Structure 1
């Protein structure tokens, strides 16, 4: 079982590397790791389990956050309209995105960052992602708003980018040009 002690923190070299593609079909080890990553996210959101194992709640986890330089990520969340996303993905890739930008007015957090980092993180409002899911199916996901933000955050980890790399250091709460906040209404 993955716990917080398995998650590497900012400053770890894997978090700044571009992760390597996973050979398809994935090995038994890679499938097990991705399944365990998804279970960690589910456990982190279960109040009893999270308390018992001292887990911080998360909605996504990328393999580099475990010190594994492979293009794998898992998500488990509901968007603001109640649509559920819960799966693991191998080699996810953003194949298109909107011109429109969005951001969370509350900012973003990360399981690999043990501090508050204030500021707006500009993200594409809509993206299309291709990947191979845990069931071995090639999927094409059209994501918008919160779902698009979650996937961009996790895919950034696969490219060695941290969420705070996107924050305007001189004006962290300056809304990005042509951007609309993506928040619970």
Structure 2
């Protein structure tokens, strides 16, 4: 079981590297990705999170657990406590995106960044991502809102980009013209 001690912290150099494409989906890769997803599930369960000292997260990319692999997990619970979004993606790529931008009004956080960094992170409102699932089957995700933001945050990790790289230093809390907050 992954815990906070397994999460690589900024400024570790692996967080700035472009992760390697996965050539073969072997059992080790599948197990690693399942462990990443399990961390997210556990971190959103209040009792488990408190017991193991887990910071809550909705997305985790392989470099954040020290792996040089292009894979990520996303797990977002809905109002009912059931999974609203549940993905384990291998070699994900953005196929297309909207011109319109969005942002989380409270800013973004990251399991790999211990301090709170204020500022708006502008992302595409809609994004279409292609990837392979753990069985090697191609999948396509059309995302908007929170899911689109989380996908782009985790995809950035695979390219060595941190969320705070996208904050405007001159006007960190100022929305771009035309950008709309995630609802």
- TM-score > 0.5 by shorter chain: yes
**Partner Cα distance (2:23, 2:175) in 1:** 40
Q: What is residue 149 of structure 1 aligned with on the other side?
A: 149
Q: What is residue 88 of structure 2 aligned with on the other side?
A: 88
Over 3 Å counting, the alpha-carbon distance change for 1:88 and 1:2 in structure 2 is same
Q: What is residue 50 of structure 1 aligned with on the other side?
A: 49
Which digits, 9 at most, give the CA deviation of each residue in 1:14-48, with x for residues without a partner?
10000000113x01110100011000100001111
Aligned residues: 181
Unaligned runs of 5+ in 2: none
Q: State the shift of 1:146 in Å.
A: 0.9
Query: Do the aligned partners of 1:41 and 1:58 also contact (CA within 8 Å) in 2?
Result: yes
Indicate the SS of the match to 1:95: strand
Q: State the shift of 1:157 in Å.
A: 0.2
Matches within 5 A, 1:36-185: 36-78=35-77, 84-183=84-183
- Give the superposed CA RMSD: 1.5
Query: Do the aligned partners of 1:3 and 1:40 also contact (CA within 8 Å) in 2?
Result: yes
Q: What is residue 3 of structure 1 aligned with on the other side?
A: 3
Indicate the SS of the match to 1:140: strand
Indicate the SS of the match to 1:174: coil
User: TM-score normalized by structure 2?
Assistant: 0.95
Which digits, 9 at most, give the CA deviation of each residue in 1:157-181, with x for residues without a partner?
0000000000001110111132011
**Partner Cα distance (1:141, 1:169) in 2:** 32
**Partner Cα distance (1:78, 1:58) in 2:** 11
**Partner Cα distance (1:155, 1:100) in 2:** 18
**Partner Cα distance (1:88, 1:153) in 2:** 15
**Partner Cα distance (2:156, 2:65) in 1:** 15
User: TM-score normalized by structure 1?
Assistant: 0.94
Unaligned runs of 5+ in 1: none
